Amino acid sequence: MIEVQNLTKRYGPVTAIRDVSFSVAPGQIVGFLGPNGAGKSTTMRILACFMPATSGSARVAGYDVFRESMEVRRRIGYLPENVPLYTDMRVAPYLEFVAEVKGVPRGQRKARVAEVMERCLIGDVQNRLIGKLSKGYRQRVGLAQAIVSDPHVLVLDEPTIGLDPRQIAEIRTLIRSLAGEHTVILSTHILPEVSMVCSGVVIINKGAIVAQGPIDRLVEEFFPTARLEVEIAGPRPAVHDAMRAIPGVVAVAERDGAGAPGRYVVESARGRDVRGEIFQLAAQQKWMLLELRQVGMTLEEVFMRIVAGEETAADGAAGVDVPEAAEADA
Amino acid sequence: MRIWPIYKKELRLYFTSPVAYIVLTMFLLIGGYFFYSIFAFFTRASMQIAMNPAGARDLNVTDGVLRPLFQNLSVILLLLMPLVTMRLFAEERRSGTIELLLTYPVRDGAVLLGKYLAALTLYALMIAFTLAYPAILVYFARVEGGPLLTGYLGLLLMGAMFLAVGVFASSLTENQIVAAIVTFGILLMFWVIGWTSEFAGQPLGAILAHLSLLEHNENFSKGVIDTRDVIYYLNFTALGLFFTLRSLEARRWSG
Ligand SMILES: Nc1ncnc2c1ncn2[C@@H]1O[C@H](COP(=O)(O)OP(=O)(O)OP(=O)(O)O)[C@@H](O)[C@H]1O
Ligand SMILES: [Mg+2]
């Protein structure tokens, strides 16, 4: 549904994104992640046909965003980062305007607007001036204008920013309910949100894609081992070595310095559960087992590892502010 | 082309903000004052002539009232029209709404035309109100229909051109004030450009005179429609709109 190939965008001397390629399958919700300035908004603006790329191509719903921009625009709903709305307009007339511009037939317009107002929970402010709404309500009006024409594809740039926790939950439910019929790409800095809402992620750093795919697969890829946090009161070197000797355990690290009881992180091959063995080991040796806990690796840790790893590796290779000359050398 | 929704939205915005009302009020107040002074002056002149009938031939309502009135109205327009167009694109750019507007399934040209026609409608309303002045005049004197009609045609064409310049200036900046000043500057330049034509050498002088806004409005208020004048205004308008379109496109590339 969304196919991006070798997309590059330069703002004068600043290369915002470089050779970005990814794709989103129909009906999927994909999270677009990356630190500040990574190029998320730039990519989304290109997808939404707001600006053309310097090179490369992007297709949305089978149409090229540059050459068949009108076709793409008919099938897309876009929520820009800072939610720009006409502050002098009232909510319902504004949505009717958007519906008309987006080509919702006259007969269905009123019903459609009423429906999205209900879905986005803004029915109670429909006669208020948009400029007088709170940030959260403006955000919802922004989302309402994106979905008012029932587009196939939604491009949402930080849709839950500035919302209170209950609203965030409501908006997430709304976005989740869009899956299947709609293809959604959303950017966010709230990583737990991605695990809750999205089926896959695309991670971008310094203008280049660094990882993409289903969340579980990425976690496995970056953390091929399962982890246990173990606290055992016993002679440290002996405990360490005994646990290391359990088949399937690939590494044992001591979490803290000297002093009993000792805390360890035990890494084992994924799918290999060594909790029983550790319990039995402790029982046999008469060591006191104080804690035995599985540590789930989250997207957050994947993200941190990727972004931190990128920083230590090739500095500036895919960064911003690369002058043309230096680029040619690289 | 989905011009209609854009047009409706812009027109509504004019009348939900104070701008349209202020411009309209100022225009009618100042215009009314000019009309009153011209008319009073004309009345006194005709009274003097009644005592000394020698000059009666040179005195008629068209030359004595309508022509100076149209000229004065053009000066007020020069000052007020930049305020009508300054918001059109500058405000969309400042508030970022342009990012949504230009990603809706409408061509840039339709957005531009919708906005331009909304401004033109407001302008047509402005000059429609001034029909009150000749209406009053008809009550006191015989008014020739021809020059009145061409005078208004001239006003309309000139206004259309002012608006095209204004909408172009508005597409250049995020700042409404800057847009207004640029519009005013461009218009003023073409206004005064003819003044030097008499001192300039001949080929240059003719060119300057041809470019001058003022020269082209002269004929209309005399009751003469010269295609050159019509073409001048239409060309200028088309050029303004064309440049606006290019400016919108250029802005897309820079993000
Ligand atoms: N209009 C512009 N002109 C020049 N440079 C720009 C422009 N817009 C963005 N950039 C630069 O492009 C890079 C990517 O910006 P972008 O807004 O896409 O980042 P982002 O991933 O959305 O960041 P954030 O998480 O802060 O929203 C940044 O270095 C930014 O400074
Ligand atoms: Mg951003």
A3 pLDDT band (50/70/90 cuts)? very high
Distance CA A156, CA B172 (A): 28
The SS3 of residue B17 is coil
A48 pLDDT band (50/70/90 cuts)? very high
- Has residue A320 got a pLDDT over 60? no
Q: Which of A273, A184, A164 is nearest to A226 (CA)?
A: A273
Please say whether the beta carbons of A115 and A143 come within 8 A. Answer: no
Distance CA B186, CA B165 (A): 8
Near ion ligand 2, which residues have CB within 5 Å? A 40-41, 81
- Has residue B15 got a pLDDT over 80? yes
pLDDT tens figures, B161-204: 999 999 999 999 999 999 999 999 999 998 888 777 667 677 77
Residue ranges per domain, chain A?
Answer: 2-75+151-219+302-312, 224-295
Which range is least confidently modeled, A233-247, B123-137, B207-221?
B207-221
Of A51, A89, A103, nearest to B253 by CB-CB distance is: A51
Rounded to 5 degrees, what angle do the CA atoms A165, A168, A170 make?
115
| More confidently predicted of B214 and B24 | B24
For residue B250, the chain A residue with the least C-alpha distance is A51
Residue B34 corresponds to which tokens in the numbers above? 């000019």
Helices (H) then strands (E): counts for chain B: 13, 0
Maximum Cα–Cα distance for chain A, whole Å? 79
Residue B233 corresponds to which tokens in the numbers above? 């205004």
pLDDT tens figures, A119-156: 888 989 999 999 999 988 999 999 999 999 999 999 99
- Has residue B2 got a pLDDT over 80? yes
CA distances from B128 to B17, B132, B164 (A): 21, 8, 20
- Ligand 1 centroid to residue A17 C-alpha, Å: 9
| More confidently predicted of B90 and A271 | B90
Find the helix or strand (DSSP H, E) in which B167 lies: helix B145-172
Residue A248 corresponds to which tokens in the numbers above? 């399937």
B37 pLDDT band (50/70/90 cuts)? confident
Please say whether the beta carbons of A85 and A130 come within 8 A. Answer: yes
Name the average pLDDT for chain A: 85
Q: Which of A102, A205, A199 is nearest to A149 (CA)?
A: A102
Percent of chain B surpassing pLDDT 90 = 51
β-bridge partners, A211: A203
Mean pLDDT of A307-330: 47
Please say whether the beta carbons of A137 and A122 come within 8 A. Answer: yes
Decide: A11 in ligand 1 pocket, CB within 6 A.
yes
* φ, ψ (nearest 5 deg) of residue A329: -65, -35
Q: Which of A185, A193, A147, A223 is nearest to A20 (CA)?
A: A185
Decide: B255 in ligand 1 pocket, CB within 6 A.
yes
The pLDDT of residue B45 is: 79
- Has residue B53 got a pLDDT over 70? no
The pLDDT of residue A146 is: 95
Distance CA B52, CA B63 (A): 19
Pocket test for ligand 1, best of A11, A15, A321 (most atoms within 8 A of CB): A11
Name every residue in A having a CB less than 8 A away from some CB of B. 11-12, 42, 45, 48-52, 70, 73-74, 76, 78, 80, 82, 84-89, 93, 97-98, 100-103, 145
What residue type is A319 in one-letter code?
A: G
The pLDDT of residue B113 is: 96
Name residues whose C-beta falls within 8 Å of residue A74's C-beta, 6 or more positions apart in sequence.
Answer: A102, A103, A149, A151, B105
pLDDT tens figures, A65-94: 999 999 999 999 999 999 999 999 999 999
Closest-CA distance, B10 to chain A, in angstroms, reads 11
Gyration radius of chain B over CA positions: 20
- Put simply, the answer to whether A84 touches B106 (Cβ < 8 Å) is no
The pLDDT of residue B57 is: 56
Cis before B134 (ω within 30):
no
The SS3 of residue B130 is coil
Place of tokens 């309309």: B156
Please say whether the beta carbons of B211 and B136 come within 8 A. Answer: no
- Has residue A220 got a pLDDT over 80? no
- Has residue A111 got a pLDDT over 90? yes
Distance CA B53, CA B48 (A): 8
The pLDDT of residue B160 is: 95
Mean pLDDT of A30-46: 92
Fold of the domain spanning A2-75+151-219+302-312? Rossmann fold (3.40.50)
| More confidently predicted of A218 and A45 | A45
Distance CA B153, CA B170 (A): 26
Name the average pLDDT for chain B: 87
Cα–chain center distance at B32: 17
CB pairs A-B closer than 8 Å: 71
The DSSP call for residue B65 is: I
| More confidently predicted of B135 and A224 | B135
Place of tokens 């026609």: B117
- Has residue A303 got a pLDDT over 90? no
Which range is least confidently modeled, A205-214, B131-140, B225-234?
B131-140
Mean pLDDT of A244-259: 78
How many CA atoms does the CB half-sphere of A289 hold within 13 Å?
17
Please say whether the beta carbons of B133 and B143 come within 8 A. Answer: no
Decide: A205 in ligand 1 pocket, CB within 6 A.
no
| More confidently predicted of B140 and B68 | B68
Residue A93 corresponds to which tokens in the numbers above? 């007339």
Of A50, A87, A88, nearest to B103 by CB-CB distance is: A50
Please say whether the beta carbons of A43 and A206 come within 8 A. Answer: no
Gyration radius of chain A over CA positions: 25
Please give the torsion angle defined by the CA atoms of residues B76, B81, B84 and B87, in that order, rounded to the nearest 10 degrees: -130
Mean pLDDT of B34-53: 79
The pLDDT of residue B7 is: 96
Distance CA A80, CA A65 (A): 17
Of A73, A76, A84, nearest to B95 by CB-CB distance is: A84
Residue ranges per domain, chain B?
Answer: 3-254
The pLDDT of residue B206 is: 74
| More confidently predicted of B14 and A297 | B14
Q: Which of A185, A159, A194, A208 is nearest to A302 (CA)?
A: A194
The pLDDT of residue A44 is: 95
In the 3-class helix/strand/coil scheme, how is chain A assigned residue by residue? CEEEEEEEEEECCEEEEEEEEEEECCCCEEEEECCCCCCHHHHHHHHCCCCCCCEEEEEECCEECCCCHHHHHHCEEEECCCCCCCCCCEHHHHHHHHHHHCCCCHHHHHHHHHHHHHHCCCHHHCCCEHHHCCHHHHHHHHHHHHHCCCCCEEEEECCCCCCCHHHHHHHHHHHHHHECCEEEEEECCCHHHHHHHCCEEEEEECCEEEEEEEHHHHHHHHCCEEEEEEEEECCHHHHHHHHHCCCCEEEEEECCCCCCCEEEEEEEECCCCCHHHHHHHHHHHCCEEEEEEEECCCHHHHHHHHHHHHHHCCCCCCCCCCCHHHHHHC
- Has residue A27 got a pLDDT over 80? yes
- Has residue A322 got a pLDDT over 60? no
Percent of chain A surpassing pLDDT 90 = 43
Distance CA A114, CA A134 (A): 20
- Has residue A314 got a pLDDT over 60? no
- Has residue B22 got a pLDDT over 70? yes
Class of domain A224-295: alpha beta
Closest-CA distance, B84 to chain A, in angstroms, reads 17
